[in-house]
A and B are shown apart, each in its own frame.
Chain A
Amino acid sequence: SQKIEQNSEALNIQEGKTATLTCNYTNYSPAYLQWYRQDPGRGPVFLLLIRENEKEKRKERLKVTFDTTLKQSLFHITASQPADSATYLCAPGGAGNMLTFGGGTRLMVKP
């Protein structure tokens, strides 16, 4: 069955550093992958989408990579700020299929 793995342990980094979150998937060949941000007590908010034919996507301080050979996506936040502290969810999806969400990784950026 399809499996999505995100580091369940919180990632603690210092303000100004680059945060890198990992999303690995198995038994799956997604045509695209989405990343969402979720704050405590709130619903997820869409951040970025990357397609299988795109190696990298950028949006302001965010960068996502998609390696279909490694079956992995990396999510980077450069020059991180305390306001970036949240849980980040990855969600691979196939054409016409529903998104399948990972369990999320909690990021804590310390001032």
Chain B
Amino acid sequence: NAGVTQTPKFRVLKTGQSMTLLCAQDMNHEYMYWYRQDPGMGLRLIHYSVGEGTTAKGEVPDGYNVSRLKKQNFLLGLESAAPSQTSVYFCASSYSIGSGELFFGEGSRLTVL
């Protein structure tokens, strides 16, 4: 099992460009999440999904959109990238919400110039 796979691993964007981060999990988990991690800030939840076709806002959703068209995939989109979105993005999945442990991907490092 590959677990949680994120693509791409690195990306450099110019301000105003758009891009999509792809997250795929092969554990048949219902729940998927997108976090961003910045120095000294910890992991902050951007959006999450409790099942195919559903999404919800997390702590820092502004400037991002998500889609969960298939159970195994969770896409994070930036429509118009800003330097403040320079960060490391982590996707995670879990079997249950609440006390279920999270399985994380390896991260996607995004730099917006």
Q: Which residues of A contact B (CB under 8 A)?
A: 4, 8, 31-32, 34, 36, 41-46, 49, 51, 89, 91, 93-104
Q: Distance (Å) between the CB of A27 and the closest chain B CB? A: 15
Q: Distance (Å) between the CB of B23 and the closest chain A CB? A: 11
What's the Cα separation between A34 and B33 when bound, in Å? 16
Q: Which residues of B contact A (CB under 8 A)?
A: 4, 33, 35, 40-45, 48, 58, 90, 92, 97-99, 101-107
- Which 7 pairs show the lowest CB-CB distances between chains A and B? A43-B104, A46-B101, A101-B43, A103-B42, A101-B42, A32-B99, A44-B104
A-B contact pairs, 23 of them (CB 8 A): A4-B42, A32-B99, A41-B106, A43-B4, A43-B90, A43-B104, A44-B104, A46-B102, A46-B103, A49-B99, A49-B101, A51-B99, A89-B43, A93-B99, A97-B98, A98-B45, A98-B48, A98-B58, A100-B45, A101-B42, A101-B43, A101-B44, A103-B42
What's the Cα separation between A96 and B98 when bound, in Å? 5
A45 contacts B104, CB within 8 Å?
A: yes
B107 contacts A42, CB within 8 Å?
A: yes
Question: Which chain A residues border B58 with CB–CB below 8 Å?
Answer: 98
Q: Distance (Å) between the CB of B35 and the closest chain A CB? A: 8
User: Knowing that A43-B4, A101-B35, A101-B43 are A-B contacts, what are 15 other residue pairs whose CB atoms are under 8 Å apart, sorted by A's residue number?
Assistant: A34-B101, A43-B105, A43-B106, A43-B107, A44-B90, A46-B101, A49-B99, A49-B101, A89-B42, A91-B43, A96-B98, A98-B45, A103-B40, A103-B41, A103-B42
